[in-house]
Chains A and B, each alone.
Chain A
């Protein structure tokens, strides 16, 4: 009987040691303080939340926005998971090739997209960016989503607004067919098929900055040309 009590005490010893001053093995790390500026809180639990996070990240231009945008894009780690690709309108690619004499990248991957994100953020320093999604009235209904895949048609607009609010410039405007995949409990964007908003271009012929994201992406590889 005494042996059993000793065994019990022996087993309880580590618990007592933990309680009486040894280093707590469950202490989490101390996080760094976030940088000043807008903080984007990423939520990827639904397709709507994913698109909302992308909009916030594009509007933010801060470090947390960059991380949120990077994490929103798919990054294939296995045979069953997609990698992110963007596709530009063919007419935009042809026009850019003619204007710059450069060859566009074969495929638009996640690293190129993140370079484009940095490029967009430097276009209008001092201005506040506003990215919005809107329904796409040029395409049909979105196909019904499954539990793990969804595709939506959206109109997008990225504008820069001056601090006094008097100047509003368009940075990118167009349509996108967005393909999303759910892996585990979260959604990723794995395909952005870009389309031109011809109606806006026709109504605003003098707005040379009213280009689509595809053009902005290509511009980011040529130093803004």
Chain B
């Protein structure tokens, strides 16, 4: 059992930190309580995009900040632009990019019907890594002249993967061409050709070679009113699919549509659906006779928002998806694979403003595939409120599910019934203009139970997993040059097997962690940051106390960041980590005391030099040197076990350059060099292993050209 006196050691850095913080300084405006502890590395400028207000905007959209940031970077949309598009198109933020990409080849999109446009975009990329390289080429062409239109999208991806002395190939080529007539701004007809060639040669797997052609007719229709708008796309034609597994020839078709009703003060309802399928004559390549097969995929999705702008708002999402794929096994038997995924969720929000609301939500999901089926559902309540100066975020969730595993090979299947319960609360507030405090509490329970169908079934052991933790943090900002943070976290994780045969491995892990970090701007362009962390993990076996262990770790990271004139920045960082570990043994005096058994010491020195001579070009050099020493106990004597020394050197160039008026070259090219040596020890005598050295180019470049 941990002795309380040991924990007093963890208070040492806290005390030191408090004593050293009494520095004079100018008062500054304290940061917002709710986002004061956010990861500010997400705010660094990339590709000319600004991430100001990233955290509050992501919070209001109910997505994570790094997701919003990734979407902005991927599609190169500024935040205001992506929000505007999501609002005007009527889709969620993460659907804006795919929607815009899809509309590029839609002859009815953007009201261009009847006008003359001629656009061509060509993209070529090359990606090289240590064991693979990928060459991609793609083009998009769109011609609109009067009522006539012609579109083409071509993508070619050639990949080589090296594994040992064996090279695998993966090649994908596809082209879609469509030509037709826009009868009006709301209706078009056309003819479409789709060609696919997929080839994969991997020595460890059967070779894949597929040629697929589709020729058919298309039609698009749009209808829009003040509140009701809809679109419908129809495609049908001839299918010829020739692969290693099956040859299919026949009729294929698809239909997809979307209906949107928007009455801003009452409700909005988006309903979209699609049906894809084919009626074919099929046969395995080795059989002469064909049999009839048909594939069908249906997908229906909807989103209903009732009273979107009122204090009480209801949001419901639902989706129904079914697929059936038939593949002939011989001339009489068909292998039919059915999958089904149905889901629905709803959220009732009772809202005063963005900082005071209560969400009550529930969800139901059901799926079925060849190997298992699952049903689950749950409910969750989320509360955000301000109470006597505290900002409170709390949630409680409860979900239950059943998974059915259909076993094969004559063994029995089993059901897995699970229950997941979690509650957490975060309380934060300002204590004067310079101090912000936060308390985070959480508790959770996962429960797994099994019902075997037969004696031959081998389900996992029934078990519970329990966790609880609390964390207190305090930010102290005496001036704009200095900020400091201290934190203490205590957690308990329990692994509880229920059956007697497995309870010997039950564990309780009690962790105590103390952190102290500070940042000080030494000079105008030089900042020093230090993070210190001490952690103790008491691993206890309730039914086998002789196996109890204690792991300690001391971590320290100090970094210097200099932003020099001429777009030159230098970062130097030193990391030290020491992790002793031991078990408890009963000493001759009868006391149960800790005996250290092994220890690991890691050190790393990292630097990064970046120079941007002009906008769109950045040169960087990143050397890193690490050492690791591990010692253990052999026959009661502590001895050296292993020493690792490693040097990594990475240098390269990042580009984001305009090539002429129409081209853009983006990507990065670099070279990575690694040198490593490991020394093992036998009877405390060093036994060095051969030095390992790697040196290779890596990076990716992409050239996009618009005509």
Nearest-neighbor residue (CB-CB) of B413 within chain A:
A77
By the criterion CB–CB under 8 Å, are A41 and B500 in contact?
no
By the criterion CB–CB under 8 Å, are B456 and A32 in contact?
no
Per the bound structure, the CA–CA distance linking A35 and B461 in Å amounts to: 16
Interface size on B, residues (CB 8 A): 48
- In the assembled complex, the CB of B500 is this many whole angstroms from the nearest CB of chain A, namely 4
By the criterion CB–CB under 8 Å, are B385 and A11 in contact?
yes
When distances are taken between beta carbons in the complex, the residues of chain B under 8 Å from A76 are 408-409
Residues B501-522 near A (CB distance < 8 A): 501-506
By the criterion CB–CB under 8 Å, are A26 and B421 in contact?
yes
12 more A-B residue pairs beyond the given contacts A7-B358, A8-B385, A64-B504, with a C-beta to C-beta distance below 8 A: A7-B350, A28-B466, A31-B497, A31-B503, A31-B543, A32-B499, A42-B505, A62-B501, A63-B501, A66-B501, A67-B461, A77-B372
Residues A152-171 near B (CB distance < 8 A): none
By the criterion CB–CB under 8 Å, are B411 and A77 in contact?
no
Nearest-neighbor residue (CB-CB) of A14 within chain B:
B396
Q: If A14-B396, A78-B371, A111-B458 touch, does A41 touch B411 (CB 8 Å cutoff)? A: no
By the criterion CB–CB under 8 Å, are B506 and A31 in contact?
yes
By the criterion CB–CB under 8 Å, are A29 and B501 in contact?
no
Nearest-neighbor residue (CB-CB) of A81 within chain B:
B371
Per the bound structure, the CA–CA distance linking A14 and B543 in Å amounts to: 35
Per the bound structure, the CA–CA distance linking A41 and B544 in Å amounts to: 10
Stretch among B97-105, B441-449, B579-587 lining the A interface = B441-449
Per the bound structure, the CA–CA distance linking A31 and B502 in Å amounts to: 9
- In the assembled complex, the CB of A28 is this many whole angstroms from the nearest CB of chain B, namely 4
When distances are taken between beta carbons in the complex, the residues of chain B under 8 Å from A41 are 504-505, 541, 544, 547
Per the bound structure, the CA–CA distance linking A114 and B455 in Å amounts to: 12
By the criterion CB–CB under 8 Å, are A64 and B501 in contact?
yes
Per the bound structure, the CA–CA distance linking A179 and B31 in Å amounts to: 55
Residues B425-474 near A (CB distance < 8 A): 425, 443-445, 447, 456, 458, 460-461, 464, 466, 468
When distances are taken between beta carbons in the complex, the residues of chain B under 8 Å from A220 are none
By the criterion CB–CB under 8 Å, are B503 and A32 in contact?
yes
On A, residues with C-beta under 8 Å from B are 4, 7-8, 11, 14-15, 25-29, 31-35, 39-42, 62-64, 66-68, 70-71, 75-79, 83, 107, 109-111, 114
Per the bound structure, the CA–CA distance linking A15 and B394 in Å amounts to: 10
Per the bound structure, the CA–CA distance linking A10 and B9 in Å amounts to: 42
B313 within 8 A of A: no
Nearest-neighbor residue (CB-CB) of A25 within chain B:
B421
Decide if the interface of chain A is mainly helix, strand, loop or mixed. loop
Q: 16 A-B residue contacts at CB 8 Å?
A: A11-B383, A15-B394, A26-B466, A34-B500, A34-B501, A35-B500, A41-B504, A64-B502, A64-B505, A67-B501, A76-B409, A77-B372, A77-B405, A109-B409, A109-B411, A114-B458
When distances are taken between beta carbons in the complex, the residues of chain A under 8 Å from B408 are 76
Q: If A34-B504, A109-B411, A111-B458 touch, does A29 touch B544 (CB 8 Å cutoff)? A: no
Nearest-neighbor residue (CB-CB) of B412 within chain A:
A111
Which 3 pairs show the lowest CB-CB distances between chains A and B? A39-B504, A63-B501, A32-B500
When distances are taken between beta carbons in the complex, the residues of chain A under 8 Å from B504 are 34, 39-41, 64
B38 within 8 A of A: no
By the criterion CB–CB under 8 Å, are B371 and A79 in contact?
yes
Q: Which of A28, A78, A83 has a CB less than 8 Å from the CB of B494? A: A28
When distances are taken between beta carbons in the complex, the residues of chain B under 8 Å from A15 are 394, 425
B173 within 8 A of A: no
In this complex, which of B356, B405, B444, B505 has the most chain A Cβ atoms within 10 angstroms of its Cβ?
B505
B498 within 8 A of A: yes
By the criterion CB–CB under 8 Å, are A29 and B409 in contact?
no
Per the bound structure, the CA–CA distance linking A26 and B381 in Å amounts to: 16
- In the assembled complex, the CB of A105 is this many whole angstroms from the nearest CB of chain B, namely 11
By the criterion CB–CB under 8 Å, are B444 and A26 in contact?
yes
B496 within 8 A of A: yes
B352 within 8 A of A: yes
- In the assembled complex, the CB of A46 is this many whole angstroms from the nearest CB of chain B, namely 15
When distances are taken between beta carbons in the complex, the residues of chain A under 8 Å from B464 are 28-29
When distances are taken between beta carbons in the complex, the residues of chain A under 8 Å from B12 are none
B387 within 8 A of A: yes
- In the assembled complex, the CB of B425 is this many whole angstroms from the nearest CB of chain A, namely 8
Q: Which of B496, B501, B505 has a CB less than 8 Å from the CB of A28? A: B496
- In the assembled complex, the CB of B360 is this many whole angstroms from the nearest CB of chain A, namely 10
Per the bound structure, the CA–CA distance linking A34 and B398 in Å amounts to: 31
Per the bound structure, the CA–CA distance linking A83 and B461 in Å amounts to: 18
Nearest-neighbor residue (CB-CB) of B507 within chain A:
A41
- In the assembled complex, the CB of B542 is this many whole angstroms from the nearest CB of chain A, namely 8
When distances are taken between beta carbons in the complex, the residues of chain B under 8 Å from A83 are 409
Per the bound structure, the CA–CA distance linking A179 and B591 in Å amounts to: 45
- In the assembled complex, the CB of A6 is this many whole angstroms from the nearest CB of chain B, namely 12
Q: If A26-B421, A39-B505, A41-B505 touch, does A32 touch B405 (CB 8 Å cutoff)? A: no
Nearest-neighbor residue (CB-CB) of B405 within chain A:
A77
Per the bound structure, the CA–CA distance linking A71 and B396 in Å amounts to: 33
- In the assembled complex, the CB of B58 is this many whole angstroms from the nearest CB of chain A, namely 24
In this complex, which of A40, A41, A114 has the most chain B Cβ atoms within 10 angstroms of its Cβ?
A41
Q: If A8-B385, A41-B505, A41-B544 touch, does A111 touch B456 (CB 8 Å cutoff)? A: yes
- In the assembled complex, the CB of A155 is this many whole angstroms from the nearest CB of chain B, namely 21
Nearest-neighbor residue (CB-CB) of A144 within chain B:
B164
Q: Which of A11, A29, A64 has a CB less than 8 Å from the CB of B498? A: A29
Per the bound structure, the CA–CA distance linking A70 and B466 in Å amounts to: 25
Per the bound structure, the CA–CA distance linking A110 and B504 in Å amounts to: 23
When distances are taken between beta carbons in the complex, the residues of chain A under 8 Å from B458 are 70, 75, 110-111, 114
- In the assembled complex, the CB of A190 is this many whole angstroms from the nearest CB of chain B, namely 13
Per the bound structure, the CA–CA distance linking A32 and B423 in Å amounts to: 27
Per the bound structure, the CA–CA distance linking A33 and B444 in Å amounts to: 24
Q: If A7-B358, A11-B358, A83-B409 touch, does A63 touch B500 (CB 8 Å cutoff)? A: yes
- In the assembled complex, the CB of A63 is this many whole angstroms from the nearest CB of chain B, namely 3
Nearest-neighbor residue (CB-CB) of A77 within chain B:
B405
Per the bound structure, the CA–CA distance linking A127 and B466 in Å amounts to: 39
- In the assembled complex, the CB of B584 is this many whole angstroms from the nearest CB of chain A, namely 15
Per the bound structure, the CA–CA distance linking A184 and B456 in Å amounts to: 25
Q: If A109-B411, A114-B458 touch, does A28 touch B372 (CB 8 Å cutoff)? A: no
When distances are taken between beta carbons in the complex, the residues of chain B under 8 Å from A114 are 458
- In the assembled complex, the CB of A157 is this many whole angstroms from the nearest CB of chain B, namely 22
Per the bound structure, the CA–CA distance linking A5 and B158 in Å amounts to: 63
Residues B93-112 near A (CB distance < 8 A): none
- In the assembled complex, the CB of B132 is this many whole angstroms from the nearest CB of chain A, namely 14
